[in-house]
């Protein structure tokens, strides 16, 4: 988690994201990194600098080969937790970023892609 937070913070700083944008994205990365470790048994995070339509952004892809999520809609619901936490992780991460995509296959792992665009 610390490695994910540090990498996202460094990239967002390098690209001159605002303090608010950076804080939101680092928080989302931390939560998603935690999910990969706790629920997926470990995995990967990839970070990509995006330039589209005159906009600058960062894309993060978190991927694991864990047990997957049986009910994605339920997992996205605030208060739902299989780890005894507050259950704000996935829904909270979704609210912190500009784009959020989750795909999961029970028994086949989970992939979450998030994008944060720098304000112009």
**What's the CA gap between 45 and 61, in Å, rounded?**
5
The CATH number covering residue 105 comes to 3.30.565.10
> Mean pLDDT in each 10-residue stretch from start to end of the chain (120 residues)?
89 96 94 91 96 96 94 76 57 93 94 94
Q: Residues 79-95: pLDDT tens digits?
A: 655 555 544 578 889 99
Q: Structurally, how many domains does the chain consist of?
A: 1
**What is the pTM for the complete model shown?**
0.89
Closest listed residue to residue 28, CA positions, set 103, 90, 104, 110:
90
pLDDT at 86: 44
pLDDT at 17: 97
Q: Which residues pair with 60 in a beta bridge?
A: 47, 114
Q: Which structural domain, as residue segments, surrounds residue 77?
A: 2-117
């Amino acid at each position: 988690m610390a490695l994910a937070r540090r990498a996202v913070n460094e990239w967002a700083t390098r690209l001159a994201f605002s303090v608010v944008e950076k804080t939101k994205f680092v928080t989302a990365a931390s939560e998603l990194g935690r999910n990969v470790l706790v629920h997926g048994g470990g995995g990967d995070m990839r970070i990509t600098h995006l330039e589209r339509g005159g906009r600058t952004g960062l894309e993060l892809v978190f991927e694991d080969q864990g047990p997957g999520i049986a009910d994605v809609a339920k997992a996205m619901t605030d208060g739902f937790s299989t780890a005894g936490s507050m259950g704000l992780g996935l829904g909270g991460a979704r609210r912190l970023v500009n784009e959020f995509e989750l795909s999961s296959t029970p028994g086949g792992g989970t992939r979450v892609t998030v994008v944060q665009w720098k304000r112009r």
